């Protein structure tokens, strides 16, 4: 009897209420996204505006159909493509090493290890030196990815000078933040039961890490590293922002001058680069794949063949990195009339002292403007000299005027008015006198864009995954039992190619570029930004979504196949991969929040827009306040994803 | 496990190779940064010999044109001053100022605002080498979409009354003629900020003068402000769709600036090289033509005092 009760209790605890909470939270976020930020739908609802928008979009589309194919420009584009590839590979390679080390510090399972302290105490980072160090590493990672890459680039210019190296290092810092966070999350989310024998045998923290945690998470780590590397290669707009070249920066730049013929050529090269990067990524994945149950795993291979695969994969990656160093230093022709410029040379500045001393130029970034005078701590008085003193009021010839009226939250409404709507808007108005509050409010627009964009992107990606997956298009006869005629196979093949083409274009075109296109239709605003983010996310996600589907052994479909491939996809493939999809979706949300900040630069007012302005105008104190909010936002999202254990791939 | 360590080892060794390569290269030639920085603040002290003169410019025109234009300038200067010159193309206004201030670039082509920012950020160590003849009488145009119903206005006060609530576009946020001066004239003539007149949501930044003209002509924005040079040389079709409604008073704009640390002698040589460019000579025609200037002239930082006053009083775009 007693066992029966405990079983019931166990089921009781397992009742899936968390899903409902999650759904409610998502719904609430969508609601807030539409209410807190200003959305402008006139170009969709108003027929006149819609007509004009169509004309504009069509004109822009037409101007893309005639790329500039002159030999000179093609040479230039090829050089830019190679520069992008070299700088992005170099940046990512540096980032992988830095991220691995920092992530070891930032992972609780590695850095802190087993803890005897009660659960509630684990919320406090100062409970032990190791825990404090762990929090510090996490904060470093958060800062690295919260600061926009162009800001890193400008900061690095004073250390290593102008040139693509500064861009590549800026990219490296940013990617370090992204990779380090994800690595440490993967390691933390490995179930401790899987490596507790190691601990039981007395292995130290490093031993547990290298022989227990790391191998268990290695597939996820490898898959995510490749995904990020592909991302870095295709939209590294920061390369070239501070000298050198690079496709992304050049596209932005040419857009600025309306040179659409050149832009479309650049876009073709970007797509070619994206395609090659994806192919190379697939090649490395195939070589390093170790799962014998994978549907397309190499079966019955000799020892030599199966061993050499990993060396080929790693060797290929190493070769690309060697090539990028050579190209940056000695292989390019970026100089005047095609001479070689050694862009690696400034790296020596990193070893010297002078370059680092130059960082003092940005010292003011460390003292953010918190505008405490708004609270009345430091009243600002202005003195007006009044040549005609009236008989009443002004006693002398000088008038003292209090410039800033201190914020008084209880002036009109007291605490008892919490249920009064007017009180809230009055409080908001009063608080808006405070600069910091305005900064915090400016985070609404990137967040709103990211929420809507990610949700749309995930939905579109799920729909596109079906035609995008090899398992359901080319190899479905392996589990359906049918033997389709040649034309049907051809049709499915065509569907696959089309879906892959859509995915390739969607992710090959950078978000910023999509945003530009949609701005011509919707006019600058959140809608254009959100749709740009949705499309790009869809392209990125469909690749990893269909990869997870294709990784499912066909036996599992065989068991549940009931006559329709589509039903099988919805009822077997989707639920099996849902957990991974959620993880990737959340990663994408995180990076979309940062993208929302970046899109501010092209005229979607919000956090990024104001930060860029203050930063470029050398108003570093104010820029620092915006940075603080950006870092705060990143920390918040990071801690939530860690608490919910959202990152568990594979 | 082995695989991953192998990958890591491969990457680490590559980076090791890169670092060594860098070291070897460094023994050959001095890096530009070391030369200029150390002497900051002492002004008169004779500068160390410069091995390479780094030239840069704000990104205000087509990249290929800039590269060709400043490639020619670098080659010309190299012949005149006897030091190798190299042009570094940047795509960020702040980067060019930061580079000059920390000695990572030695001679930079700035706009009006960036000239003043360089002066402030270097604490007076930036010296104006020269400017074009046209830079002392620069002007901006206010343009309006032909369908917007806003005709020519006699001043911006009238514009503010006629065009309240319309969509207004500036160029790049850092641009002198596309943002700062138009904003200044709006504020000084109406006493109100553009955000107050048109509404904060109706103000936008297109990124460049060409964009402003194109977008106003297309009707994305009702009104815009841009520099006269870009407008004057654009197509008649665009001009017809986006006529001028107001011309601002004259002000100063672009300049070549150098950091005083490279030495008064070298700055003198560079200035002499620019001033000696004359129409009719091959070098002169090529460079002056690219800069659409008649000649280069001497100028003082004090010529930019008007813009400095505007920056000192704070440019507030809201937020």
CB B207 to CB A52 under 8 A?
Answer: no
The beta-carbon neighbor of A616 closest among B12, B174, B211 is B174
CB B31 to CB A218 under 8 A?
Answer: no
The least confident of A269-273, A521-525, A526-530, B119-123 is A521-525
Confidence at A160, pLDDT banded by 50, 70, 90:
confident
Per-residue model confidence as pLDDT tens digits over B68-95:
889 889 999 988 888 888 888 887 888 8
Q: Roughly how many angstroms between the first and final C-alpha of chain B, as a whole number?
A: 50
Confidence at A394, pLDDT banded by 50, 70, 90:
very low
Identify the residue with better confidence: A649 or B147. B147
Residues of B in contact with A440 (CB under 8 A): none
Work out the average pLDDT over A294-315. Answer: 77
Which of B41, B28, B76, B38 minimizes the C-alpha distance to B55? B76
Residue of B nearest to A338 (CA): B71
The beta-carbon neighbor of B10 closest among A161, A242, A317 is A317
CB A314 to CB B10 under 8 A?
Answer: yes
Polymer length in residues for chain A:
650
Residues of A in contact with B38 (CB under 8 A): 354
The beta-carbon neighbor of A93 closest among B15, B37, B317 is B15
Residue of B nearest to A76 (CA): B64
- The CATH code that applies to domain B46-136+252-312 is 3.40.190.10
Segments making up each domain of chain B, as ranges: 46-136+252-312, 139-247
Residue A8 within a domain: no
Mutate to test the interface with B, among A51, A155, A162, A342 (most CBs of B within 10 A): A162
**Most confident of the ranges A250-264, A518-532, B174-188:** B174-188
Cα torsion angle, A387, A393, A395, A398, sign: negative
Do A262 and A380 share a structural domain?
no
Residue of B nearest to A215 (CA): B1
Q: Roughly how many angstroms between the first and final C-alpha of chain A, as a whole number?
A: 39
Asked if the C-beta of A317 comes within 8 angstroms of chain B's C-beta atoms, the answer is yes
CB B92 to CB A210 under 8 A?
Answer: no
Residue of B nearest to A243 (CA): B90
Residue B41 has pLDDT above 50, yes or no: no
Residue A554 within a domain: yes
The least confident of A229-243, A265-279, A457-471 is A229-243
Residue A574 within a domain: yes
Cβ neighbours for A428, distance < 8 A, ≥ 6 positions apart? none
What is the radius of gyration, based on Cα positions, of chain B? 23
Residue A29 within a domain: no
Do A193 and A211 share a structural domain?
yes
- The rounded mean pLDDT for chain A is 82
Residue A468 has pLDDT above 90, yes or no: yes
Residue B169 forms beta bridges with which residues? B204, B224
Confidence at A244, pLDDT banded by 50, 70, 90:
low
> Strand B140-144 and strand B223-227: pairing?
antiparallel
Contact A547, A471 (CB under 8 A): no
Instruction: Return d(Cα B215, Cα B211) in angstroms, integer.
Output: 6
Sequential DSSP letters for A202-226: T--HHHHIIIIIHHHHHHHHHHHHH
Distance (Å) from the alpha carbon of B288 to chain A's nearest alpha carbon: 20
As a 3-state breakdown, chain B gives helix, strand, coil percent values, each rounded to 5, of 50, 15, 30
As given in the structure block, the two tokens for residue B271 are 């200035």
> Strand B126-132 and strand B296-297: pairing?
antiparallel
Domain-ending residue, one of A366, A396, A418? A366
Residue A541 has pLDDT above 90, yes or no: yes
Confidence at A450, pLDDT banded by 50, 70, 90:
very high
Residue A530 has pLDDT above 80, yes or no: yes
At B303 the three-state DSSP class reads: helix
Asked if the C-beta of A618 comes within 8 angstroms of chain B's C-beta atoms, the answer is yes
Residue of B nearest to A340 (CA): B86
Identify the residue with better confidence: A612 or B46. A612
Confidence at B48, pLDDT banded by 50, 70, 90:
low
Residue B108's pLDDT is what? 94
Asked if the C-beta of B20 comes within 8 angstroms of chain A's C-beta atoms, the answer is no
Instruction: Return d(Cα A164, Cα A79) in angstroms, integer.
Output: 13
Asked if the C-beta of B74 comes within 8 angstroms of chain A's C-beta atoms, the answer is yes
Residue A181's pLDDT is what? 92
Task: Spell out the CATH class of B139-247.
Answer: alpha beta
Instruction: Return d(Cα A406, Cα A411) in angstroms, integer.
Output: 11
Residue A319's pLDDT is what? 93
CB B17 to CB A322 under 8 A?
Answer: yes
Sequential DSSP letters for A548-598: HHHTS-HHHHHHH--S-HHHHIIIIIHHHHHHHHHHHHHHHHHHHHHHHHH
Residue with tokens 């490093």: A206
Could you say which residues from 537 to 576 on chain A have a Cβ atom under 8 Å away from some Cβ of chain B?
A: none
Residues of A in contact with B32 (CB under 8 A): 161
Distance (Å) from the alpha carbon of A258 to chain B's nearest alpha carbon: 7
Residues of B in contact with A218 (CB under 8 A): 1, 3-4
Residues of A in contact with B21 (CB under 8 A): 325, 329, 344
Q: What's the structural domain count of chain A?
A: 3
Residue of B nearest to A152 (CA): B95
Residue A12's pLDDT is what? 60
Residue A162's pLDDT is what? 83
- Looking at residue A406, the DSSP 8-state letter turns out to be P
**Most confident of the ranges A43-47, A487-491, B62-66:** A487-491
Distances (CA, A) of A493 to A484, A505, A515: 12, 18, 32
Do A398 and A254 share a structural domain?
no
Residue of B nearest to A441 (CA): B319
Work out the average pLDDT over A12-19. Answer: 68
Residue A438 has pLDDT above 60, yes or no: yes
Instruction: Return d(Cα A591, Cα A631) in angstroms, integer.
Output: 13
Residue with tokens 């011309």: B247
Work out the average pLDDT over B126-144. Answer: 90
CB B208 to CB A162 under 8 A?
Answer: no
At A604 the three-state DSSP class reads: coil
CB A161 to CB B61 under 8 A?
Answer: no
- Specify the CATH number for the domain of residue A106: 1.10.3720.10
Confidence at A79, pLDDT banded by 50, 70, 90:
confident
Distance (Å) from the alpha carbon of A440 to chain B's nearest alpha carbon: 10
Sequential DSSP letters for A62-84: HHTSS----HHHHHHHHHHHHHH
Residue A383's pLDDT is what? 52
Report the 10 Å Cβ neighbour count for A564.
11
Asked if the C-beta of A363 comes within 8 angstroms of chain B's C-beta atoms, the answer is no
Distances (CA, A) of B217 to A250, A269, A521: 25, 30, 15
Confidence at B25, pLDDT banded by 50, 70, 90:
very low
Instruction: Return d(Cα B48, Cα B34) in angstroms, integer.
Output: 9
Residue A309's pLDDT is what? 82
Q: State the burial class of residue A173 (Cβ atoms within 10 Å of its Cβ: 0-12, 13-18, 19+).
A: buried
Residue A42 has pLDDT above 50, yes or no: yes
Confidence at A290, pLDDT banded by 50, 70, 90:
low
Per-residue model confidence as pLDDT tens digits over B290-313:
888 888 999 888 888 888 888 887
Distances (CA, A) of B266 to A303, B46, B53: 69, 11, 10
Residue A11 within a domain: no
Do A504 and A388 share a structural domain?
no
Residue A292's pLDDT is what? 64
Domain that holds residue A611: 441-643
Residue A649 phi, psi (nearest 5): -105, 140
Is B139-247 the same fold as B46-136+252-312?
yes
The beta-carbon neighbor of B98 closest among A158, A252, A310 is A158
Mutate to test the interface with B, among A75, A179, A334, A345 (most CBs of B within 10 A): A345
Residue of A nearest to B20 (CA): A348
Residue with tokens 């969508």: A30
Instruction: Give the pTM.
Output: 0.81
Work out the average pLDDT over A61-65. Answer: 82
Sequential DSSP letters for A13-55: HH--HHHHHHHHHHHHHHHHHHHHS----HHHH-HHHHHHHHH
Per-residue model confidence as pLDDT tens digits over A608-623:
888 888 888 888 888 8
Residue A648 has pLDDT above 70, yes or no: no
Do A345 and A319 share a structural domain?
yes
Do A385 and A349 share a structural domain?
no
CB A336 to CB B105 under 8 A?
Answer: no
Residue A356 within a domain: yes
Cβ neighbours for A410, distance < 8 A, ≥ 6 positions apart? none
As given in the structure block, the two tokens for residue B72 are 């020619």
Could you say which residues from 383 to 402 on chain A have a Cβ atom under 8 Å away from some Cβ of chain B?
A: none
Confidence at A377, pLDDT banded by 50, 70, 90:
low
Confidence at A412, pLDDT banded by 50, 70, 90:
confident
Do A401 and A459 share a structural domain?
no
Work out the average pLDDT over A124-144. Answer: 91
Could you say which residues from 26 to 55 on chain B have a Cβ atom under 8 Å away from some Cβ of chain A?
A: 26, 29, 31-34, 37-38, 54
Counting one residue from chain A and one from chain B, the pairs whose CB atoms sit within 8 A come to 222
Contact A168, A329 (CB under 8 A): no
Asked if the C-beta of A249 comes within 8 angstroms of chain B's C-beta atoms, the answer is yes
Residue of A nearest to B208 (CA): A256
Residue A617 within a domain: yes
């Amino acid at each position: 009897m007693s066992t029966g009760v405990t079983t019931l209790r166990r089921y009781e605890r397992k009742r899936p209420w968390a899903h409902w909470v999650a759904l409610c939270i998502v719904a609430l976020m969508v609601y807030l996204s539409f209410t807190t930020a200003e959305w402008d739908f006139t170009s969709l609802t108003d027929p006149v505006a819609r007509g004009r928008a169509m004309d504009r979009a069509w004109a822009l589309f037409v101007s893309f159909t005639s790329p500039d194919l002159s030999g000179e420009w093609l040479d230039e584009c090829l050089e830019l493509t190679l520069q992008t590839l070299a700088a992005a590979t170099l940046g990512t390679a540096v980032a992988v090493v830095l991220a691995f080390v920092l992530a070891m510090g930032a992972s609780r399972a590695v850095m802190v290890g087993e803890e005897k302290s009660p659960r509630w105490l684990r919320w406090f980072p100062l409970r032990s030196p190791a825990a404090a160090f762990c929090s510090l590493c996490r904060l470093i990672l958060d800062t690295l990815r919260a600061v926009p890459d162009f800001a890193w680039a400008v900061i690095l210019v004073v250390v290593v000078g102008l040139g693509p190296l500064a861009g590549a290092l800026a990219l490296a810092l940013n990617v370090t933040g992204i990779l380090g966070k994800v690595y440490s999350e993967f390691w933390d989310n490995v179930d401790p039961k899987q490596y507790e024998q190691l601990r039981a045998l007395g292995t130290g923290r490093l031993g547990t890490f290298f022989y227990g945690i790391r191998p268990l998470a290695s597939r996820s780590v490898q898959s995510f590293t490749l995904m990020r590397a592909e991302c870095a290669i295709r939209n590294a707009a920061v390369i070239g922002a501070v000298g050198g070249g690079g496709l992304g920066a050049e596209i932005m730049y040419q857009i600025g001058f309306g040179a659409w013929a050149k832009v479309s050529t650049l876009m073709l090269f970007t797509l070619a680069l994206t395609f090659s990067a994806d192919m190379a990524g697939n090649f490395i994945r195939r070589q390093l794949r170790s799962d014998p149950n994978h549907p397309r795993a190499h079966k019955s291979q000799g020892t030599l063949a199966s061993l050499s695969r990993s060396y080929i994969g790693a060797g290929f990656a190493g070769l690309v990195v060697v090539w990028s160093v050579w190209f940056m230093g000695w292989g390019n022709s970026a100089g005047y009339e095609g001479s070689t410029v050694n862009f690696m040379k400034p790296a020596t500045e990193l070893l010297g002292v002078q370059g680092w001393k130059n960082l003092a130029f940005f010292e003011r970034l460390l003292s953010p403007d918190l505008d405490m005078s708004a609270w009345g701590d430091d009243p600002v008085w202005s003195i007006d000299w009044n040549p005609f003193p009236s008989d009443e009021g002004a006693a002398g010839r000088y008038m003292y005027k209090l410039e800033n009226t201190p914020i008084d939250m209880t002036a009109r409404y007291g605490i008892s008015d919490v249920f009064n709507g007017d009180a809230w808007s009055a409080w908001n108005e009063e608080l808006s006198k405070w600069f910091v509050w305005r900064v915090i409010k400016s985070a609404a627009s990137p967040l709103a864009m990211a929420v809507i964009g990610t949700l749309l992107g995930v939905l579109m990606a799920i729909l596109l995954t079906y035609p995008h997956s090899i398992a359901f298009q080319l190899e479905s006869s392996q589990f359906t039992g049918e033997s389709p005629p040649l034309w049907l196979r051809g049709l499915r093949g065509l569907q696959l190619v089309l879906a892959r083409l859509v995915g390739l274009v969607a992710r090959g075109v950078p978000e910023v570029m999509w945003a530009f296109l949609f701005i011509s239709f919707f006019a600058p605003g959140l809608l254009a930004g959100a749709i740009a983010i949705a499309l790009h996310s869809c392209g990125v996600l469909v690749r990893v979504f269909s990869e997870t589907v294709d990784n499912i052994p066909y036996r599992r479909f065989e068991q549940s196949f009931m006559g329709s491939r589509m039903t099988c996809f919805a009822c077997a493939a989707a639920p099996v991969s849902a957990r991974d999809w959620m993880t990737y979706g959340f990663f994408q949300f995180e990076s979309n929040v940062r993208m929302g900040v970046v899109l501010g630069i092209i005229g979607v007012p919000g956090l990024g827009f104001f930060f860029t302005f203050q930063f470029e105008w050398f108003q570093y104190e104010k820029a620092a306040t915006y940075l603080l909010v950006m870092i705060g936002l990143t920390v918040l999202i990071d801690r939530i994803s860690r608490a919910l254990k959202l990152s568990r791939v594979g | 496990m082995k695989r991953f360590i192998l990958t890591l080892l491969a990457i680490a060794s590559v980076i090791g190779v890169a670092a060594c390569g860098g070291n070897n290269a460094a023994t050959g030639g001095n890096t530009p940064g070391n030369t200029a920085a150390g002497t900051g603040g002492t002004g008169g002290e004779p500068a160390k010999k410069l091995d390479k003169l780094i030239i840069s410019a704000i990104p205000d025109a087509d990249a290929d044109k800039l590269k060709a234009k400043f490639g020619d300038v670098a080659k010309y200067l190299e012949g005149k001053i006897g030091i190798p010159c190299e042009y570094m193309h940047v795509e960020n206004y702040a980067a060019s100022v930061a580079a000059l201030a920390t000695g990572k670039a030695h001679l930079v082509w700035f706009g009006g605002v960036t000239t003043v920012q360089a002066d402030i950020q270097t604490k007076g160590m930036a010296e104006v080498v020269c400017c074009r003849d046209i830079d002392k009488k620069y002007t901006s145009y206010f343009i309006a979409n032909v369908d917007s119903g806003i005709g020519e206005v006699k001043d911006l006060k009238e514009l503010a009354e006629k065009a309240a609530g319309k969509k207004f576009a500036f160029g790049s946020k850092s641009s002198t003629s596309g943002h700062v001066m138009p904003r200044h004239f709006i504020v000084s003539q109406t006493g109100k900020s553009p955000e107050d007149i048109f509404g904060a949501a109706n103000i936008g930044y297109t990124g460049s003068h060409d964009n402003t003209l194109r977008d106003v002509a297309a009707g994305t924005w009702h009104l815009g402000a841009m520099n006269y040079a870009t407008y004057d040389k654009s197509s008649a079709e665009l001009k017809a769709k986006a006529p001028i409604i107001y011309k601002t008073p004259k002000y100063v704009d672009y300049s070549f600036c150098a950091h005083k640390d490279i030495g008064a002698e070298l700055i003198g040589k560079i200035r002499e090289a620019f001033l000696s460019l004359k129409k009719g000579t091959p070098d002169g025609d090529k460079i002056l033509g690219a800069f659409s200037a008649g000649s280069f002239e001497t100028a003082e930082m004090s010529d930019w005092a008007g813009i400095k006053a505007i920056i000192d009083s704070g440019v507030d775009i809201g937020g």
